[in-house]
Amino acid sequence: MGENLFVSNKLFDPKIAMEKWFLEHLDYDYNNNSCQDDKMCGHYTQMVWADSHSVGCAVHRCDTMEGLSFEKATFLVCNYYPAGNFNDEKPYEEGEWCSKCPDNLPRCDQNLCVPDAPELTEEPDVEKETMDSSPPGTDEPSTHTATATATATTTATDTATATEDTPPSPPRTQPDYSSAPEPTMADREETGTEPGDGEEEEEEEEEQEEEEEEEEKWEGEERATEREKDSTREQPPANAGSVSTSLILVTSLMPLLSLGL
């Protein structure tokens, strides 16, 4: 089994480890299948070894490690199967991508041989089947709904009956202040009045209106009296004609009486 190791005493990032392993290809000569002097490229060759198709990695933090001078370091271990890096063997053959994929890895994905993706099967809709398999007659309206509807109808009928039986209330002769909202502190500050001032003003206005009505009533009676007096003056006395006639008769009879005497 092939194995790659990476150690770091800084904040661990697996991407950094993969990049450093892959950058070893700069020091690898494919034609000679060798690395430059004093350079390491075995991590790269194991990463790209064509026969290795399975890999597993793990991370562990160690305070000390036998044979190494690292302290409180993080170790990354990746195992490859089947193992690679055999002597005198190249990690892969040059050619077109995915040109010699094995039977168990027939599909090419991002220039790599991968297994076929499992076919997606449509799973039956359990909820739909449950709805379809429900026995007939279950779609009747709910009892709670019917009860609520009947209650609402009964309440509406009772209200209408009470409204028809109740005689109309007589109109109010005075304003009703029972339902008027009490003034808030903001209203008091703006108007400068206390609760009850509005009622006193209303009472004063009513008294003034009553006084004005009484004055108008007296003025109307005085006008009627004056009109009666004026009409009486314009009419001639009823016995004026009879008095004049009597005086004429008395005047005409005076000479006769004197002759007779």
- Measured CA to CA, the distance from residue 59 to residue 77 in angstroms comes to 6
Q: 102 Cβ partners below 8 Å, 6+ apart?
A: 113
| 3-state helix, strand and coil shares in percent for the chain, rounded to the nearest 5 | 45, 15, 40
Residue given tokens 């209303």 in the structure block: 202
CA distance 42 to 80: 13
Question: DSSP string of 140-171?
Answer: SPPHHHHHHHHHHHHHHHHHHHHHHHSPPPPP
Long-range contacts of 15-20 (CB under 8 A, 24+ apart): 17/76
Region of 78 please: left (phi>0), alpha (psi -120 to 50) or beta: beta
What tokens appear for 206 in the block? 């009513």
Tell me if the pTM is above 0.75: no
DSSP state of 118: P
pLDDT for 86 equals 94
β-pair type (34-35, 28-29): antiparallel
- The series of mean pLDDT values per 10 residues for the chain, 261 residues long, is 90 93 96 93 95 93 86 94 94 90 91 83 64 56 45 46 48 51 51 56 81 80 76 54 54 62 52
Burial track 181-220 (b if 16+ CB lie within 10 A, e otherwise): eebeeeeeeeeeeeeeeeeeeeeeeeeeeeeeeeeeeeee
Phi, psi of 116 (to 5 degrees): -65, 140
Contact between residue 45 and residue 28 where contact means Cβ atoms under 8 Å apart? yes
What's the pLDDT score for residue 197?
56
Reading the block at residue 169, the tokens are: 């209330």
